[in-house]
Chains A and B, each alone.
Chain A
Amino acid sequence: MDERQDQESGVSPNNAPADGGAGHSERGPSRRRSAHLDQHLDTDALSAYLDDRLDEPERTLAASHLARCEACQGDLAELQATVALLSGLPQYRPRRSFELGPAYASRGQPSRFSRFLPLIPALRVAAAVVALLLVGVTAADIRFADDTRPPAQQAVSRSTAPSTSETEATEGRQTSEDLPAADDAGSSAGVAEPAGEQADRALQAVPAAPATVAASNRTADTSLAAPAEADPATDRAPSTGSNRPSAWRLAEVGLALVLLWLLVGLVGLQRLRGTSDPRAGA
């Protein structure tokens, strides 16, 4: 058996040649085994045979082949010698001890939070995203709080004092004497309505104007008593059926809490990383 045929086949039965063992009367694996008795063992098979990592049929097949093939016996002997040399390589004694000094007892003391250290970059990104969201939600709250106030108040005022609101809207001005009168009529929402409409007009005139513009218009056009009356009306708006402003507030508070939690976690982890030994990050 001089030629090394089918080096890549190893001893896998799946690589049996089609005509292998045709002259034998055995069936199935036995016939394939006969076919592989003539095939040399490749390096993978020899290595696995050496480590006894072959399945039983493969090991039997390899052993049968090795009993007849001097070339494979030589290969196995050299491989075995290589492995014996490797396993006989000397060990090296370290020149010094690698025990940790007493400083590590406090500095490098393991913390159960150390496992979160790799999350620092992700926490930074998350904190930035939440901060942006908070800014956006706050801006939207300021923007839409003034947009949503008039319709709600209008709805309330239409149901309570439509004539008063229409009159005041056409007049466009409200005096300090009118407000107590409207208040006396028992409709605080009606009192707030003119201020709301003025704010709405102010927003239509200057779309980007925040609530401060409306507030300034309101205070300029009305007496000092007007805001005092309008504020309770605004506060009562949710109770009259519109909860959108409170949803914005909830979102703001929630985001602020999340941001606070992220910042506290970040600061804590940064401190933890700072107290651990810098070589520990290797």
Chain B
Amino acid sequence: MVVDPPSDPPLPLAARPEAAAQVDGPNDAAAPDAEAMLDLRLVRGAQQGELASFNSLVRRHEQAVFNVCLRLLRDAHAAEDATQETFVKGWTAIHTFRGELVRPWLLRIATNRCYDLLRARHRRPARSLDAEPFEIEPDWTSQAGQEEHPESFAVRAELALHLERALAALPDDQRLAAILIDVQGYGYEETAAITGAALGTVKSRISRARARLRQMLRDDPACAELFERFGRPTED
């Protein structure tokens, strides 16, 4: 099996167009700065007590916060509650914001809240939500810019279902690392800041998470062949 020439290392995740499009909008070098500046202006307004400024921040970041909560909690209602609580907490604690990036700051609040809920859920496991699909229809339009063959898309969509289940089977810390780095496209440093873990710990978690996910996809007879086909390099 031959993959991309090793002398040409793969593009880092943070620089991948599709990941950047999902997280920070256009993959333009100047765009993140402009986005961050706009966030900071809104934060200043919110710190002055302007609820409208804070609600602008909510609109800009609610989808990212909700998706992290949803994949961590695997329950749409719980994720909605956690997202709402994140923004209420963010509003009451906006005066503690000190020049960081807004989204990681919000995600730190969100992940802390999700961890609390997960701990409570582990203490009294009423029902397992891990194997259940989300109650919300996925939005595939974020990858609509790429010309993808319908068959390839069908394979990917089928594998996505299996991968979501595999994600749910990961330990919480590894799942969070995979969600933040691979799904949401954050860098190691940002993930370390969000989770409060050391950089080496983040590297270790994402490595173990990827290895386990890969193993689960390979071992699942329902998707092993699809996974092999997906990983096979296209022959022109």
**Residues of A that sit less than 8 Å from B by CB:** 43-44, 47-53, 59, 62-67, 70, 73-74, 76-100, 102, 104-105, 108-112, 114-115, 276-277, 279-280, 282
Contact = CB atoms under 8 A, between A and B. Distances in A.
B183 to A, nearest CB: 5
Contacts of B185: 87
Contacts of A279: 84-85, 88
B142 interface: yes
Contact of A89 (B3, B65, B163): B163
B49 A93 contact: no
Contact of A110 (B92, B142, B181): B92
Interface residues of B, number: 82
B19 A87 contact: yes
B31 to A, nearest CB: 19
A67 to B, nearest CB: 5
B229 to A, nearest CB: 10
A122 B19 CA distance: 45
B160 A89 contact: yes
A81 B113 contact: no
A65 B181 CA distance: 26
A31 to B, nearest CB: 21
B9 A49 contact: yes
Nearest to A43: B211
B59 A99 contact: yes
A273 to B, nearest CB: 10
Contacts of A63: 6-7, 9
B91 interface: yes
18 contacts: A50-B9, A51-B181, A66-B6, A67-B6, A70-B2, A77-B3, A78-B214, A83-B210, A86-B182, A87-B185, A90-B142, A91-B138, A92-B139, A95-B76, A97-B62, A100-B51, A111-B95, A282-B85
B83 A87 contact: no
A94 to B, nearest CB: 5
A48 B207 CA distance: 8
B88 A100 contact: yes
Given A67-B6, A82-B214, A97-B62, A91 B136 contact: no
